[in-house]
Amino acid sequence: MRSATDATLIHNGQVIDGTGAPAIPDGCVLIESGIIRYVGPLRTVPPGSESAVRLNANGGTIMPGLVEAHFHATYFNVAALEDLDIKYPVEYVTLLAACNARLVLECGYTSARSGGSLFNIDVWLKKAIENDLVIGPRLATSGREICGAGGLMDWNPEFRKIGMEGLILLVNGADEARKAVRKLVKDGVEWVKTYPTGDAAAADSNDHHTLCMTFEEMHAVVQTAHNHGMKVTGHCRATAGIKNALLAGYDAIEHGTFMDDETLELLLKRNVPVVPALYFEMMSIERGPEFGMSQAVIDGHQETLDGGAESARRILAAGGRLGMGGDYGFAWNPHGDYAKELSFFVNYVGLKPLDVIKCATQTGAEILGREHELGTLAVGKLGDVLVVDGDVLADISILQDRKRLIAVLQSGIVKSRCGVSCLSGDAVVS
Ligand SMILES: [Zn+2]
């Protein structure tokens, strides 16, 4: 990804650095050659910054670019399970993924961690973004996901004579789990996404209290993935599934819904980050009836919402780490709504805006494994900055309004202004 060659001084706003520290009033950020050189009050900005291009925050907020920690680039207007795998050909899904990547950047997210992708599209999407062919977030990829046969993601009935090759690698036993990870090694993914548990969406046979993989399968996934330098995460709702994941050596937990004291203790001991992705549950409850969800499914989402909110509060209060990401791409939870997750965690879960921003920036970068270069505004880090028209600490919902995102920068280059991307043509193809 290209870097700015000139200097930019972003000024006239409060600076939120992403560490959870209080905002710096009348602060500024100086970026030179794509790298942050100064963060602090404007009155002590180092000499030489007079020649920098000035970017006015209009009295609003200067903060790190957000990190969407559970991004499905290939999901698009999903209203039924089949929409995830066989609705469109892979060629069209690839184009949709590029559109989603642009959108997530326009929404202020300069980085994203994939939560699973159809075929190997996110790996190639990342390559296109890194080569400036399309604009989008810095991506951590995961490609196809792994689930036990008969589990949550194995929904095509036998009579259809089709498997789940494009979306899911179905496994029976530890050997097949190892084989599936080895396929992903060749694909070049960074995160192996698995399905240790079911979900409220599959109320009949794989609900949120059902296990979809055995401990042996999960352990085989971790051993094989770690051997090849890959990390492992999983869709974990049921308590036993979360516990299995932590004992098997998972590097992150998606959802972490039903957590008892013992599981929480294990989580904290290993300091494993959790991405709750809870606004999806709220939307499933509110809009489920118009999409034909049964009462059993909606009740399951309510139970998930209540359990997940309680777990998220406990994790953060106990010093654990939460990432912000949200399974966007469903018909009732569309791409573009990413920042609604942040408002939801302030208004519904009851977290402080500064804490939620830390989750969505610093912790997000930690989940990506790139905390040394992303996630906070600090000298020496990449100039990935979000400039917002307004005080996001007084009203975090401002982040939902793309028109109020004055500028989104990656490595000091303005990629989007007021929610509209700035496309550039001098890409280098490699
Ligand atoms: Zn997901």
pLDDT in tens, 98-134: 999 999 999 999 999 999 999 999 999 999 999 999 9
β-strand 385-388 against 53-64: which pairing, if any? Answer: antiparallel
Q: With 50 as the cut, is the pLDDT of residue 307 above it? A: yes
Alpha carbon distance 207, 205 (integer Å): 6
Distance CA 319, CA 359 (A): 12
Query: What does DSSP assign to residue 333?
Result: B
H-type alpha helices, 234-294: 239-248, 261-270, 279-287
Pairing of strands 109-114, 138-140: parallel
Ligand 1 centre and the CA of 116: distance in Å?
A: 7
Angstrom CA distances, 88 to 11, 51, 85, 326, stand at: 46, 51, 8, 23
Cα–ligand 1 centroid distance for 327 (angstroms): 5
Q: What is the pLDDT averaged over residues 381-390?
A: 98
Place of tokens 């990629």: 415
For 368-396, the DSSP string reads HT-TTTSSS--TTSB--EEEESS-TTT-G
Domain 7-65+376-421 CATH assignment equals 2.30.40.10:
yes
Task: Answer yes or no: is pLDDT of 97 > 90.
Answer: yes
Among the listed residues 129, 76, 113, 274, the one whose alpha carbon sits nearest the alpha carbon of residue 192: 113
Mean pLDDT of 323-329: 95
| Residue range(s) occupied by CATH 3.20.20.140 in the chain | 66-338
Instruction: Quick: pLDDT tens for 190-230.
Output: 999 999 999 999 998 999 999 999 999 999 999 999 999 99
CA distance 379 to 66: 18
**CB hemisphere CA count around 302 (13 angstroms):** 11
Average pLDDT over residues 388-411: 98
Q: How far is the CA of 235 from the centre of ligand 1 (A)?
A: 7
CA of 58 to the centre of ligand 1 (A): 36
What is the CA(153)–ligand 1 centre distance, in A?
11
C-alpha of residue 115 to centroid of ligand 1, in Å: 5
- Closest residue by Cα to residue 61 from 35, 24, 36: 24
Distance 195 CA to ligand 1 centre (A): 10
Kindly give the distance from the C-alpha atom of residue 75 to the centroid of ligand 1, in angstroms, as a whole number. 9
Confidence of residue 84 (pLDDT cuts 50, 70, 90): confident
Distance 352 CA to ligand 1 centre (A): 25
| Separation of alpha carbons 311 and 349, rounded Å | 10
Q: Which residues have beta carbons under 5 A from ligand 1 (an ion)?
A: 115, 327
Asked whether the predicted pLDDT for residue 275 surpasses 80, the reply is yes
Domain 66-338: give its CATH architecture.
Alpha-Beta Barrel (3.20)
Instruction: Give the pLDDT band (50/70/90) at residue 427.
Output: very low
Residue 22 — φ and ψ, nearest 5°? -60, 155
Better-predicted residue by pLDDT, 164 or 243? 243
> Torsion over CA of 233, 237, 243 and 244, rounded to 10 degrees?
-60
Q: Where in the sequence of the chain do the CATH 2.30.40.10 domains occur?
A: 7-65+376-421
Lookup: tokens for 96: 């949709």
The bridge status of strand 35-41 relative to strand 24-32 is antiparallel
Q: In the predicted model, what is the mean pLDDT of the chain?
A: 95
Taking the centre of ligand 1 as the mean of its atom positions, its distance from the CA of residue 38, in whole angstroms, is 37
| pTM score of the predicted model | 0.96
Q: What is the pLDDT, as a whole number, of residue 87? A: 83
Q: How far is the CA of 280 from the centre of ligand 1 (A)?
A: 10
Q: Which residue bears the tokens 């084989």?
A: 179
Q: What is the CA radius of gyration of the chain?
A: 21
Predicted local confidence at residue 80, as pLDDT: 84
So what's the pLDDT on residue 424? 58
CA of 377 to the centre of ligand 1 (A): 28
Whether 426 has a pLDDT exceeding 90, the answer reads no
The 10s digit of each residue's pLDDT in 157-193 is 888 777 677 889 999 999 999 999 999 999 999 999 9
pLDDT digits (tens, 9 = 90+) for 29-60: 999 999 999 999 999 999 878 999 999 999 99
CA 110 vs CA 50, 142, 202: distances in Å: 27, 18, 33
What is the whole-number distance in angstroms between the Cα of residue 220 and the centre of ligand 1? Answer: 22
